[in-house]
Amino acid sequence: MPRRSLLPLCALVSLTFTEAGRAQSSLTIYGAVDLGIRSVSGDGIGSKTSLASAGYRASRLGLRGTEDLGGGWHAGFKLETTLHADVGGVGSRSLPEQFWNRASYVEIGSRSLGTLRLGHDSNALYRRWLENDPWFAGMGSANNLYDLTQNGPLRESFGPVGRYETTVAYSRRTIQYLSPTLNGFSGVLAYATRAGQSTTTGGAGLRLLELAYKPDDRLSFAVAHSRTQAQFATAESVRRLTDSLVAMAYDLRSFKLAAAVRQFRAETSRETVAYVTATLPIGGDRIHATYGRSRLAGSVSSHLAAGTTAGSIDGNGTSLFALGYVHVLSRRTWLYANAVRMNNRGTSFLGIPGGPTPSAKTFSGGSATGFDFGITHNF
């Protein structure tokens, strides 16, 4: 990390500790470092072995503060950034000025009225999508079933930017209302302004609604829907994308089952992504298994991936099967091992993260296999 980046961080921590002592508020410095040895091979693209960050959990660093305002009210903030632990990097790779690329918000709320949150945050639909994904990050994550490298609704709407610079995962300049839980029901309303920016600089507008029901600690159910306005370049027209989700989970105590279905719709194309997953506890350890698939439909005529042509994308898609084992050494430290298989259909060419770089020319309809084992330490 550059020295100029460390100085404001150190000053912030020092100041916050001082103010926390005066106001009897709390400050938590937290995070995780995850590194593993990964080997991936794919049809026609060879193999690659590397030291990879985020094999089971995202490597990250965060600051979180809360203050009890009395009468059931609280105020707080969260600042969180990605750690690229394999190379010592930090923050967004594609937007260098975005140090706190995972969260940067302030909030105020009460137990009875809910919470108002302002700033940059993961959107509620994305949080639900990952809530029951055992991997969250790494080769086995259901996130690997869609990407803006492929022709489809995401690329049609946002252009060839990074997934995390779109509203698919995070939204900037966002106003969120998180309701209190009443008889198991809760909800989220969110609005993000586009502010005239193109997606190449992280600009997109968002309107989002989420409703969830969790009557006890065994069953959960959620639906969410968002509408995004995006403009890849200032010379282009504003494009619209809808993102819809249904997710549920049931804990049978002896094992947990969960499933989620997500659909992206643009003007001429759509993509449906789904996964089912099971978690089996063995003592303090865990076995995870996930099967997921994506299917594309419609046609594309702009923002085409290199080596592809305009036209129908019907029948394109990807399937994923992942199996993982987590050995818990302590409350903070885990060992993990994963095996993943991905199969593309039609002209799709999604690859396994950390493997050889796929392309439409070298990997259309190809399959890949990956293995990794590593360590996650939470602090």
Task: Work out whether strand 204-213 and strand 219-230 pair parallel, antiparallel, or are unpaired.
Answer: antiparallel
Q: Using alpha carbons, list the distances in angstroms from residue 153 to 277, 336, 350.
A: 25, 34, 15
Check residue 17 and give its pLDDT: 46
Check residue 9 and give its pLDDT: 53
Start-end of H helices in 56-103: none
Residues 338-356 have a mean pLDDT of 97
The pLDDT tens digits of the residues spanning 65-105 come to 999 999 999 999 999 999 999 999 999 887 777 899 999 99
Who wins on pLDDT, 267 or 25?
267
Check residue 20 and give its pLDDT: 44
Check residue 164 and give its pLDDT: 85
pLDDT over 90, % of the chain: 83
Q: Please check the confidence at residue 13 and state whether its pLDDT lies above 60.
A: no
Residues near 78 by Cβ (< 8 Å), separated by ≥ 6? 62, 63, 64, 65, 103, 104, 105, 107, 121
Residues 24-36 have a mean pLDDT of 93
| pLDDT classification of 24: cutoffs 50, 70, 90 | low
- Annotate 271-290 with DSSP letters as a single string: EEEEEEEEEEEETTEEEEEE
Task: Work out whether strand 60-70 and strand 26-42 pair parallel, antiparallel, or are unpaired.
Answer: antiparallel
Check residue 211 and give its pLDDT: 98
Residues 208-227 have a mean pLDDT of 97
Q: CB–CB of 109/73 below 8 Å?
A: yes
Q: Is 108 exposed, middle or buried (0-12, 13-18, 19+ CB in 10 A)?
A: middle
Give the tokens for residue 217.
């600690």
Task: Tell me the C-alpha distance between 72 and 41, whole Å.
Answer: 54
Check residue 202 and give its pLDDT: 67
Q: Using alpha carbons, list the distances in angstroms from residue 213 to 23, 224, 244, 249.
A: 36, 12, 17, 11
Residues 200-210 have a mean pLDDT of 86
Half-sphere exposure of 31 (CA within 13 A, CB side): 19
Who wins on pLDDT, 10 or 140?
140
Residues near 178 by Cβ (< 8 Å), separated by ≥ 6? 109, 114, 115, 117, 124, 186, 187, 188
The pLDDT tens digits of the residues spanning 218-265 come to 999 999 999 999 988 888 889 999 999 999 999 998 999 999 999 999
Check residue 18 and give its pLDDT: 44
Who wins on pLDDT, 237 or 20?
237
Q: Please check the confidence at residue 342 and state whether its pLDDT lies above 90.
A: yes
b (16+ CB within 10 A) / e for 308-343? beeeebeebbbbbebebbbeeeeeeebbbbbbbebb
At 32, the amino acid letter reads: A
Residues 337-342 have a mean pLDDT of 98
State the Cα torsion 303-228-84-291 to the nearest 10°.
Answer: -90
The pLDDT tens digits of the residues spanning 107-122 come to 999 999 999 999 999 9
Give residue for tokens 């709320």: 109
The pLDDT tens digits of the residues spanning 112-162 come to 999 999 999 999 999 999 999 999 899 999 999 999 999 999 999 999 988
Q: Please check the confidence at residue 375 and state whether its pLDDT lies above 60.
A: yes
Half-sphere exposure of 159 (CA within 13 A, CB side): 19
Task: Tell me the C-alpha distance between 341 and 109, whole Å.
Answer: 44
Half-sphere exposure of 186 (CA within 13 A, CB side): 20
Task: Tell me the C-alpha distance between 154 and 345, whole Å.
Answer: 18
